[in-house]
Structure 1
Amino acid sequence: MKIASVATARLLLHPLSVDEAERVVAREAGAGDRWGEGYPADGDVRANTGFLRGVAERGDPGPYRTYEIRLDGVAVGGIGFHGPPDGIGVATVGYGLVPGVRGRGYASEALRALLEVARRAGADGVKGDADLDNPASHRVMEAAGMRCVAEDDKLRHFYLGF
Structure 2
Amino acid sequence: MEIKIMSQQEAQNWSYDQWMGVALLISILGTHSKIPTFYKNPRIIEKISLTFDDIQTVQENHTLLSEEHCLQIRDFVLEHAEEVECIVIHCYTGVSRAAAIAFAICHLLNLDDTWIWVSERYYPNKYCVHKLNRVLNLGLTEQDIQSRYQYKEKKHQLS
The TM-score normalised by the length of structure 2 is 0.36
The TM-score normalised by the length of structure 1 is 0.36
Higher helix share: 2
RCO higher in structure (CA 8 A, sep ≥6): 2
Higher strand share: 1
